[in-house]
């Protein structure tokens, strides 16, 4: 068995374990909210009529969970985000984000979530899974029986 073949088998096995965040539904949401990320879950707001599909909202909020897991404001350099915002979002959506988030430090994260949520769901869920592994790795424990990594 070649190293590449062994790696491919291991990678496919890893992919089969990839799961997304827990999804919950709530009727108790802030006004004009379709969903939000909270801890390790995505809450979908059932008391509003979103313009996006359920999958699009989950993807968007999962990007915010990834940002939180990696403890970063942005996953990409600002220059790249600026280019992607202007090449993938229409002017109305850009203006909406600026008006709603303009006075906060959250505007870049919101733009990034809107841009990256256009990636295929499988890619976003893989990113989420990797970010969850990062949390486990940096906390000094692993998902295997809660043992410290150095004891495995």
Reduced DSSP (H G I as helix, E B as strand, rest coil) percent helix, strand, coil of the chain, to 5? 55, 10, 35
Cα 117 to Cα 115: distance, rounded to the nearest angstrom = 6
Return mean pLDDT, the chain: 84
Strands 41-45 and 22-26, bridge-based pairing: parallel
C-alpha distance from residue 54 to each of 22, 112, 139 (Å): 14, 19, 32
64, two tokens: 């915010």
Confidence of residue 87 (pLDDT cuts 50, 70, 90): very high
Can you give the pLDDT at residue 145?
Answer: 52
Can you give the pLDDT at residue 8?
Answer: 64
Name the pTM for this structure: 0.79
28, two tokens: 């108790």
Quick check: 78 pLDDT over 90? Answer: yes
Range list of H helices, 102-148: 107-116, 121-138
Can you give the pLDDT at residue 32?
Answer: 80
C-alpha distance from residue 40 to each of 14, 37, 60, 88, 98 (Å): 20, 7, 14, 28, 27
Cα 107 to Cα 113: distance, rounded to the nearest angstrom = 10
Query: What is the number of alpha carbons within 13 Å of residue 4 lying toward its C-beta?
Result: 0
């Amino acid at each position: 068995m070649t190293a590449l073949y062994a790696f491919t088998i291991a990678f496919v096995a890893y992919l089969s374990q990839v799961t997304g965040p827990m999804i919950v539904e709530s009727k108790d949401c802030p006004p004009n909210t379709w969903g939000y990320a909270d801890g390790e879950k995505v809450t979908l707001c059932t008391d509003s009529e979103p313009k996006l599909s359920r999958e699009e909202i989950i993807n968007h909020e999962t990007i915010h969970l990834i940002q939180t897991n990696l403890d970063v404001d942005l996953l990409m350099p600002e220059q790249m985000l600026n280019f992607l915002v202007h090449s993938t979002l229409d002017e109305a959506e850009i203006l909406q984000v600026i008006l709603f988030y303009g006075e906060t430090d959250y505007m870049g994260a919101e733009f990034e979530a809107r841009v990256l949520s256009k990636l295929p769901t499988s890619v976003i869920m893989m990113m989420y899974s990797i970010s969850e592994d990062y949390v486990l790795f940096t906390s000094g424990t692993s998902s295997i029986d809660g043992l410290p990594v150095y004891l495995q």
